[in-house]
A and B are shown apart, each in its own frame.
Chain A
Amino acid sequence: MNEIEKKHRRTVHIMGIALVGCLLGSFLLGRYPVPLTELLGILGSKLGLPIAPFWTVQMEAAVWSIRLPRVLLSVLVGACLAAAGASYQGVFQNPMASPDILGASAGAGFGAALAILLGLSSIGITLGAFAASLVTVALVFTVSRHARGDRVLGLVLAGIMVSSLFQSGTSFLKLVADPNNQLPQITYWLMGSLSGAKWSDLGFVIVPVLTGLIPLFLLRWQLNVITMGDDEARAMGVNAPRIRLFIVICSTLVTASAVSVSGMIGWVGLVIPHMMRRLVGSDYRFLMPASMLGGGIFLLVVDNISRNASASGIPIGILTAFIGAPFFLWLIMGKGDHYEH
């Protein structure tokens, strides 16, 4: 391992520590103040340490039932979107690819809108979004199999086409939705928000999320080789189409899980991987863990702003776009890439 690799590994470790720090800090933030000692006491007792309660019941409820699931969920969603974005950018050899490139978000939006229209409960909406998201990407795959010419290009084009189809479907559902309660609910969902996050949401997504994230982490070296193109990858012993399919399935799974609990949160999957390239270079051995950690930290911080900025809470999707778009502009206008030497 040479000096550069050591440096990048250290950066990843520092980001891990930063994430833990941000997690602790996030518990302290909120309209109901909980001092640090009480916070540590509550967390300790929940982990099974024999600590006599010196905190109020309200404190425990605020930390354990409201803040903890929301904080964990924002980290998980951020990590998922950034990891999926980084993976898609690699397997499609396209730096502009984002997690919704294959229609996962458009499908989730449609599924959620339909579930709201049918009057389903919140877990029903999550399930509807998740299922519709997977169905959409499966549809994109089926369509692209009939595309002539370049398979990868066909897949991306099919993704754009099917996405726009589902977006018009969502628009139609908004048109026929009851404007007094359903329409605002659909609009709010589409804006993306983590308010009202519950333990059940976390319980629902944790299995598909880990099923996707762990292989993405383990396949990060293969991702490097795939970015060289299918022919070169094959000559180096990597069956690129097969690995690509597997990575796309994993990425879709994590994206669908993330958007089904959070709604549409844009820009994270595009901006974070590029930001991390500045920090640790293009090597996926470091880029993948850095993206996961960076995505988690970013969404956690943005969600803290979202829930503390105003009493009603600004939907996080609006904030990520507000921060993400100018930031991306800054990234591409920046004085070249620090890694180019």
Chain B
Amino acid sequence: MSIEVQNLSFSYGDRPVLHDISFRVEKGEFLSILGPNGVGKSTLFRCVLGLLSGYTGQVLVDSADSRSFSVREAARHIAYIPQSSHPIFNYSVFDIVLMGRTSGLSTFRSPRKQDAELCRWALEKVGIPHLSDRCFHRLSGGEQQLVLIARALVQKAPILMLDEPTASLDFGNQLRVLEQCRSLAREGYTVIQTTHNPEQSYQYSDRILTLQHGRVLAEGTPKEVLTEKTIRALYGVEVDVVSLRDDRARICLPSNISIKEGHL
């Protein structure tokens, strides 16, 4: 399922946040959205998810206007994976994942046997079936992120939106989560993440969208977007972008750090 944002603008009161944002993500693509703090990445997510409604422009899911969806229909198309989740009460991992089935149930119903089976499948798929009976609170940030991904998977929505999924994870878990995102895209999911890491976006995603001052600064393949010029325009810092392994990876080195011989 593809998702297309057309000329989307949004203001909080009289403070404009997003201007004329347009982009398109195809089925099976993994898009990373980069931009400095406070640029409106989360606002963009909230508009696309229908959590904010006062925007102009359109969000098209397979060319259907997402504003025409009911809350339940929207959840069947787009699943959201928050940066973190803090339930007030203690739920087991299994219960948290089972909540992802809600959009498939009528209001007065509780999940049934086939829903539980789907949860076991999802936990297996993200590699944490052993955590099923653990208390969600007691898991590490990386494990919680995988639980939230499993919850999104049982929602059976073809579009996955992840809000800074790697922000609070250790290095190993960052790679595991990004690997998971990429393999889900290969299976046909449409995956969108926001992130603050240009190098990992380059390595893992298919396309990169950069936002600055509420507008699209650059959009394209990682090779097109990850340049010294873009990083400077995005974050206001001077870097040297160094290409490695036949340009399959690029790293951003701060220019003002003199690299003496013997280092690198």
Contact = CB atoms under 8 A, between A and B. Distances in A.
B163 to A, nearest CB: 10
A232 interface: yes
Contacts of B91: 224, 281-283
B147 to A, nearest CB: 12
Contact of B88 (A93, A221, A236): A93
B113 A1 contact: yes
B5 interface: no
Q: Is the interface of A mostly helix, strand, loop or mixed?
A: loop
Interface residues of B, number: 43
Interface stretch (A71-79, A122-130, A333-341): A333-341
Contacts of B72: 237
Interface in A233-257: 234-239, 243
A2 interface: yes
Contacts of B78: 235
A283 B99 CA distance: 11
Nearest to B111: A221
A218 interface: yes
A1 B115 CA distance: 10
A221 B155 CA distance: 15
Interface string B129-160: 00011110110000000000001000100000
Given A237-B104, A283-B91, A341-B138, 20 more contacts: A95-B88, A221-B110, A221-B111, A222-B107, A229-B85, A231-B49, A232-B85, A234-B49, A234-B74, A234-B75, A235-B80, A237-B72, A237-B102, A238-B102, A239-B71, A281-B91, A282-B89, A282-B95, A285-B110, A340-B137
Interface of B: 46, 49-51, 71-72, 74-76, 78-80, 82, 85, 87-92, 94-95, 99-100, 102-105, 107-111, 113, 116, 132-135, 137-138, 151, 155
Interface of A: 1-2, 4, 90, 93-95, 215, 218-222, 224-225, 227-229, 231-232, 234-239, 243, 277, 281-283, 285, 337, 339-341
